[in-house]
């Protein structure tokens, strides 16, 4: 009897535990469904105002003559289209989650279809000096599939390859046909994917946590790619070596599916990559403007700003804000930014935080550790102004943080405030030399530099051979850098 009772109690407890587990699973499933519904509703709500932004801007653009106003509207139009495309991908993700998204099968000439998507990224590749190639061994290759979903597959793979490939690298898009299948390869020589990631790379919301991936999307692109490839009865896998590159391989079946209906509107325009067709001539024209030489820098009374950002449209927008009152220099990454900073010695540096290679925090640290540059205030731009990022910036000597999207008036006021502080610093230097009373507050860095200059000069007042070159040598600086730094602080 005792054993029987123990057995019944154990069975009862086990049944109770199973019920609790099932209840927890149901609650988690319900909570997840509510989150996804909220996600979808927000996406739908965003799509309506975006549509009302995109279409009126397009109408205005069609009636505008060439000029700066049209250039500005082109930037607004192109970015609103990109935002609309992102929202569409969020809705596609939700539709995929509901598991009732049927394929709209049509006949597709794979050569023409893939080449069209490939060409849309041509300017991006050219701008980054990337060897961008397309290969297909059969121009009459036809497959049956969902045009929109395959477009998203190719779009995501090419977009990721170009995002992670360094300047001067390569991206290859290759299609090979066999008897019963077609093999598609997208390869690059980017940083590669760390070992041990495996199939997790295709999980929804999964992102490889690295310096290169800090600002790259939602983590749903490759999830959609794998999902859509498998809906077409295909397979996808990848090969990667850290520091060498990554290759994605897709295998799709060839042959007419059962229940196939003739395609309608095969030559429709691409839905998701159309917004990438940029105004190339306009951007090249803008890139060539405002190139200023060293001589002009030395003789100009305008204060100067160095803008460092890997988004050229952000650089162009900041240039438009300040170009009337400031000389603007630009750099598209941290390493180039540090080189420009040493070359031009600007009054202010504005840098994005998340950049490939040397990021904004590292750039700020390098500037503050260089005695010839340490007086230059650095403002950091960030789309994710969390406390950890702010703390890192403050620790390396950042002057201020500005969150994206930023308010134009507040941004202008901060820059003008910095210039005013520079003027106060000049007054301080003058008062130290003339022994006048001083009420201005200056940073310890600049004060230390100025006091060092004054001490060296006072100690050598009786030396006939003392010159500017001697002063520069004692400070450990070149003659030209000493001139620029003294000019910036006095």
382: number of Cβ within 10 Å: 20
Strands (E), 245-359: 245-253, 303-308, 326-331, 348-352
Mean pLDDT value across residues 300-317: 83
Length, in residues, of the chain:
490
Name the residue among 154, 162, 156, 238 with its Cα closest to residue 197: 238
pLDDT of 218: 54
Mean pLDDT value across residues 55-83: 79
pLDDT of 4: 73
- Check: CB of residue 104 under 8 Å from CB of residue 142: no
Percent pLDDT > 70 in the chain is: 76
Interatomic CA distance for residues 145 and 148, integer angstroms: 9
Interatomic CA distance for residues 429 and 442, integer angstroms: 10
Mean pLDDT of the chain: 78
Helix (H, G, I), strand (E, B) or coil at 326: strand
Mean pLDDT value across residues 239-255: 90
Tokens read off for 116: 């069209």
pLDDT band at 54 (very low <50, low <70, confident <90, very high): confident
Mean pLDDT value across residues 126-154: 89
Strands 105-109 and 142-146 come out as antiparallel
pLDDT of 458: 81
Q: Which residues contact 358 (CB under 8 A, 6 or more apart)?
A: 333, 334, 335, 337, 338, 366
Say which range, 155-159, 350-354, 400-404, has the weakest mean pLDDT: 400-404
Say which range, 29-33, 115-119, 365-369, 486-490, has the weakest mean pLDDT: 486-490
What is the tens place of the pLDDT at every residue in 86-120? 777 666 666 666 544 677 888 899 999 999 888 87
Interatomic CA distance for residues 123 and 395, integer angstroms: 39
Mean pLDDT value across residues 39-60: 72
What is the tens place of the pLDDT at every residue in 158-177? 988 988 888 899 999 999 99
Based on the number of CB atoms within 10 Å of its own CB, is 334 exposed (0-12), middle (13-18) or buried (19 or more)?
A: buried
Name the residue among 315, 347, 329, 316 with its Cα closest to residue 421: 347
For residue 57, which phi and psi values (nearest 5 degrees)?
Answer: -65, -40
- Between 186 and 100, name the one with better pLDDT: 186
Percent pLDDT > 90 in the chain is: 17
pLDDT band at 2 (very low <50, low <70, confident <90, very high): confident
Helix (H, G, I), strand (E, B) or coil at 369: helix
Structural domains of the chain, with CATH: 2-93 (1.10.287), 102-282 (3.30.565.10), 289-489 (3.40.50.2300)
pLDDT band at 182 (very low <50, low <70, confident <90, very high): very high
What is the tens place of the pLDDT at every residue in 256-271? 765 444 444 444 455 5
pLDDT of 411: 86
Q: In the beta sheet, which residues pair with residue 247?
A: 187, 239
What is the tens place of the pLDDT at every residue in 390-443? 888 888 989 888 887 777 888 888 888 888 877 776 666 556 555 555 555 556
User: Residue 21 to residues 12, 24, 179, 254, 377: CA-CA distances in angstroms?
Assistant: 14, 5, 49, 45, 57
| 249-254-259 Cα angle (round to 5) | 130
pLDDT of 445: 67
| 487-488-490 Cα angle (round to 5) | 65
| 367-370-376 Cα angle (round to 5) | 45
pLDDT of 287: 45
Strands (E), 169-322: 170-177, 181-188, 235-241, 245-253, 303-308
Say which range, 39-48, 103-112, 381-390, has the weakest mean pLDDT: 39-48
Q: Which of 13-17, 55-59, 287-291: highest mean pLDDT?
A: 13-17
- Between 358 and 444, name the one with better pLDDT: 358
Residue found under tokens 């149901």: 26
Residue burial 462-483, b: 16+ Cβ < 10 Å; e: rest = eeeeeeeeebbebbebeeebbe
pLDDT of 199: 83
User: Residue 230 to residues 35, 224, 247, 306, 411: CA-CA distances in angstroms?
Assistant: 25, 10, 18, 48, 48
Interatomic CA distance for residues 307 and 351, integer angstroms: 6
pLDDT band at 284 (very low <50, low <70, confident <90, very high): very low
Interatomic CA distance for residues 170 and 193, integer angstroms: 16
Residue burial 185-219, b: 16+ Cβ < 10 Å; e: rest = bbbbbbbbbeeeeeeebbeeeebbeeebbebbeee
- Check: CB of residue 354 under 8 Å from CB of residue 314: no
Q: Which residues contact 394 (CB under 8 A, 6 or more apart)?
A: none
Return the C-alpha torsion angle 135, 139, 141, 143, nearest 10: 80
pLDDT of 123: 76
- Check: CB of residue 357 under 8 Å from CB of residue 190: no
- Between 204 and 155, name the one with better pLDDT: 155
Helix (H, G, I), strand (E, B) or coil at 332: coil
Mean pLDDT value across residues 346-350: 91
Q: Is the pLDDT reported for residue 186 higher than 70?
A: yes
For residue 374, which phi and psi values (nearest 5 degrees)?
Answer: -60, -20
- Check: CB of residue 135 under 8 Å from CB of residue 172: yes
What is the CB-side half-sphere exposure of residue 119 using CA atoms within 13 A? 7
pLDDT of 296: 45
pLDDT band at 40 (very low <50, low <70, confident <90, very high): low
């Amino acid at each position: 009897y005792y054993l029987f009772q123990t057995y019944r109690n154990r069975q009862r407890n086990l049944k109770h535990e199973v019920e609790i587990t099932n209840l927890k699973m149901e609650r988690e499933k319900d909570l997840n469904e509510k989150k996804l519904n909220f996600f979808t509703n927000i996406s739908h709500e965003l799509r309506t105002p975006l549509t009302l932004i995109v279409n009126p801007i397009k109408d205005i653009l069609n009636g505008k003559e060439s000029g700066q106003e049209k250039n500005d509207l082109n930037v607004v139009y192109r970015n609103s289209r990109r935002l609309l495309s992102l929202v569409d991908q969020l809705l596609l993700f939700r539709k995929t989650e509901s598991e009732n998204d049927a394929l709209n099968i049509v006949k597709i000439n794979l050569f023409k279809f893939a080449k069209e998507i490939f060409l849309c990224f041509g300017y991006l590749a050219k701008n980054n000096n990337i060897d961008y190639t397309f290969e297909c061994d059969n121009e009459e290759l036809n497959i049956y599939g969902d045009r929109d979903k395959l477009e998203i597959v190719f779009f995501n793979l090419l977009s990721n390859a170009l995002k992670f490939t360094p300047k001067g690298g390569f991206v290859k898009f290759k299609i090979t046909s066999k008897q019963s299948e077609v093999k598609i390869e997208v390869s690059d020589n980017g940083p590669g994917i760390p070992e041990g990631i495996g199939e997790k790379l295709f999980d929804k919301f999964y992102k490889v946590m690295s310096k290169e991936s800090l600002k790259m999307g939602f983590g749903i692109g490759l999830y959609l790619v794998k999902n859509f490839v498998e809906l077409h009865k295909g397979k996808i896998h990848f090969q990667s070596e850290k520091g060498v590159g990554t290759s994605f391989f897709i295998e799709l079946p060839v042959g007419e599916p059962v229940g196939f209906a003739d395609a309608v509107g095969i030559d429709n325009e691409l839905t998701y990559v159309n917004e990438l067709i940029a105004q190339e001539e306009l951007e090249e024209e803008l890139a060539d403007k405002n190139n200023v030489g060293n001589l002009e820098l030395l003789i100009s009374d305008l204060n100067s700003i160095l803008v460092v950002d890997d988004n050229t449209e952000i650089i162009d927008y900041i240039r438009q804000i300040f170009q009337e009152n400031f000389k603007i220099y630009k750099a598209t990454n941290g390493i180039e930014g540090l080189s420009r900073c040493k070359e031009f010695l600007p009054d202010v540096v504005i840098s994005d935080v998340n950049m490939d290679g040397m990021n904004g925090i590292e750039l700020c640290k390098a500037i503050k550790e260089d005695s010839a540059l340490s007086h230059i205030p650095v403002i950091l731009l960030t789309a994710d102004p969390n406390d950890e990022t702010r703390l890192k910036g403050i620790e390396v000597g950042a002057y201020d943080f500005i969150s994206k999207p930023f308010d134009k008036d507040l941004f202008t006021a901060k820059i003008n405030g910095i210039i005013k502080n520079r003027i106060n610093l000049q007054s301080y230097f003058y008062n130290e030399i003339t022994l006048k009373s001083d009420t201005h507050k200056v940073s310890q860095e600049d004060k230390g530099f100025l006091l060092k200059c004054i001490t060296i000069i006072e100690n050598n007042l009786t030396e006939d051979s003392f010159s500017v070159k001697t002063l520069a040598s004692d400070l450990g600086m070149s003659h030209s850098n000493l001139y620029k730094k003294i000019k910036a602080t006095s």
